[in-house]
A and B are shown apart, each in its own frame.
Chain A
Amino acid sequence: MEERIIRSARVLAPLSVVAVLVWLGMVVFVAPPERVQGVVQKILYVHVPCVLPAYLGFILTALGGLGFLLTRREQWDRLAHSGAEVGVVFCSLILLTGPIWAKPVWGHWWVWDLRLTSTLVLWFMYVAYLFLRAFVIGSDPARTLASVYGIVGTAAIPFVYYAVDLARGSTLHPSNPAREGLPGSMAATWIAGTLALLLVFAYLVARRLEIARLEAEALEHAVREPGI
């Protein structure tokens, strides 16, 4: 499976570029400026599509962790690590593009409401996971600990997703777009953005996974040849 994911990067790279160009074209030429917010609303076509890749990255971390705990095969652990890193990149983009939209619309870069705060906590959780991975390299107990951490961490995702509902009107954050139902061209642009960023996500995971495997091979060589 690992080999197949790594090989898919060759196809995913050109597909991602094309999908991103189509998406950007739709943002500029297809999606109309929103009535109330104006052109600033177009930021949501990049902010919202970053959400699914971030969640998927963290779900991959849990699946990889589960696979490792069940099989003790390192390739699952590498998948978990790769998912977390790419997930953190997309989660960072959510946290950075959100305030850029919020400033002109809300008048504030940041408010400490449930959705924003829980997303920030989610980001910190997976940054902590990456720190854990960076400081403890290659040992089996560390992989086990990281696997359990990765599995437990996904429990935060539904909480973040439903935070708007849980806040019961006391949040400034708009409700989840799929439930609201966007009109025609806006929905198409949003879907194009989601697909484009999912392709980019898949490409980045494939590349990161290859690096993890190459690093494991390099470590193996270093152990076999101690003078290196």
Chain B
Amino acid sequence: MSYVLAAYTLVLVTLALYALSLEQRRRQLRERLGGARHGPREFRG
């Protein structure tokens, strides 16, 4: 049973963490670009 739990936990946690990291990266880029569209100063910060 522990093997089954290990396999499913591994898959679900890996996919969830990957999805979260993509969401975070996407949010950061959108914020940066949102700033850049309002001028270089905001983009820098």
Which A residues are within 8 Å of any B CB, using their own CB?
20, 24, 27, 39-40, 42-43, 46-47, 50, 89, 92-93, 96-97, 100-101, 103-104, 200, 203-204, 207-208, 210-211, 214-215, 217-218, 221, 225, 227-228
Contacts and interface: CB of A to CB of B under 8 A. Distances in A.
Contact of A46 (B7, B26, B33, B44): B7
B23 to A, nearest CB: 7
A39 B44 CA distance: 55
A101 B7 contact: yes
Contacts of A101: 3, 7
B1 A39 contact: yes
Given A204-B22, A207-B19, A104 B14 contact: no
B19 A204 contact: yes
Contacts of A211: 22, 25-26, 29
A207 to B, nearest CB: 4
Contacts of B32: 218
Interface string B7-23: 11011101100110011
A102 B1 CA distance: 14
Given A207-B23, A218-B32, A228-B36, A89 B18 contact: yes
30 contacts: A24-B8, A27-B8, A39-B1, A43-B3, A43-B4, A43-B7, A46-B11, A47-B7, A93-B10, A93-B11, A96-B10, A97-B10, A100-B6, A101-B7, A104-B3, A200-B19, A204-B18, A204-B19, A207-B19, A208-B22, A211-B26, A214-B26, A214-B29, A215-B29, A218-B29, A218-B36, A225-B40, A228-B36, A228-B43, A228-B44
Counting from the closest, the 5 A-B pairs by CB-CB distance are A214-B29, A207-B22, A43-B7, A100-B7, A97-B7
Contacts of A225: 36, 40, 43
Contacts of B14: 89, 92-93
Contacts of B43: 221, 225, 228
Given A40-B4, A214-B33, A227 B15 contact: no
Interface string B23-41: 1011001101100100010
Given A214-B29, A227-B40, A100 B15 contact: no
Nearest to B39: A225
A205 to B, nearest CB: 10
Contacts of B19: 200, 203-204, 207
